[in-house]
Structure 1
Amino acid sequence: MGGSFAARLSGWRVPLFAMMVSLLLAGCGVNAIPSSEEHAKAMWSEVLNQYQRRSDLIPNLVETVKGYAAQERDVLTSVIEARAKATAVTVDASTITDPEKFKQFQAAQAELGRALGRLIAVSEAYPDLKSSQNFLALQSQIEGTENRIAVARRDYIRAVQVYNTELKTFPGVFWASTFYRSYQPMETFTITDEQKQVPKVKFN
């Protein structure tokens, strides 16, 4: 009977030891890297959602402006082309760890933002367009989306800062060199302040 008890006691040692090791590792921050990575990816998804929202609004805005200012062909064309380029850039989880892909993505989105700003500014020269309820609604939605983009981008930048710092500082740097060798630093936005500005149109 004593041998049986000893065997049972021995059988409990392995899972007990494994549980203690797991708790110890958790306390040492072994889960911080994957946790912060998932958070950053979630923030990135929100950035993409807001950029997609802006992209979806553009066709209706272009058609509305065209109805009042068809002669502004260059501006209309530039928006259409910029939107096509922006949507052509493939974005997925790998984009945020690939410097070149990320650079292409933000450059395309920045160009679309500038073209969109020029399109909205066209309304100043066309009183009927400025007073169009459809245009006013779309312009308001565009500005609201630009604000959401700015917030989503800010949250993403903060999340990436936490994740990248975790990879470079102790104890994260230890876990990165052992359990998480495949984890790479994420890219973040480096666009100018001018590119971050929300297109604004004052209606007098």
Structure 2
Amino acid sequence: MLIALGIIAVLAVILVLIYNRLVALRQTTNQAWGDIDVQLKQRQDLVPNLVETVKGYASHEQETLEKVVQARNQAVSAGSVKEQAQAENMLSGALRQLFALSEAYPDLKANQNFLDAMGYAADEIV
């Protein structure tokens, strides 16, 4: 009888330890998702200023600018994680196209706001 109680006690302790570990992992996961959301929000907030900066130098590149704005709007309004991932991938592609414009516009490439945004993008965004 004592052996059975001992086994039950050991199993109970093991179950509690497993449960506590799962709770800790869930909290770590939630924290990581929160960090990702902050980075994505910063990226999304950067887009309007970036588009306005580029508009001043490359206003006839309307199609690229519209793609960036549309991709940003989709990223902001995405609901599920899957939708958000797809929208962020589209935004990354649109931003790459926007940054590629700087090669064709030397004045844009020299603009400090654009350079700051590109520097941030290289580190955090694209």
Please point out which of 120, 129, 137 is paired with 2:116. Answer: 137
Does residue 44 of the first structure (1) align with residue 12 of the second (2)?
A: no
- Alignment match, 1:113: 92
Question: Aligned equivalents of 1:42 and 1:118: distance in 2?
Answer: 32
More helix, by proportion: 2
- More RCO (CA 8 Å, sep 6+): 1
Matches within 5 A, 1:86-165: 86-90=75-79, 101-146=80-125
Q: Which residue identity is paired with 1:137?
A: D
Which ranges in structure 1 are unaligned for 5 or more consecutive residues? 1-19, 91-100, 147-197, 199-204
Q: Which residue identity is paired with 1:129?
A: L
Fraction of identical pairs, as percent:
38
Flag as ranges the 4+ runs of structure 1 deviating above 4 A. none
Q: Name the count of aligned residue pairs.
A: 117
Question: Aligned equivalents of 1:44 and 1:73: distance in 2?
Answer: 34
- Alignment match, 1:201: none
Which ranges in structure 2 are unaligned for 5 or more consecutive residues? 1-8
**Other structure's SS at 1:71 match:** coil
TM normalised by structure 2 equals 0.85
Q: Which residue identity is paired with 2:63?
A: D
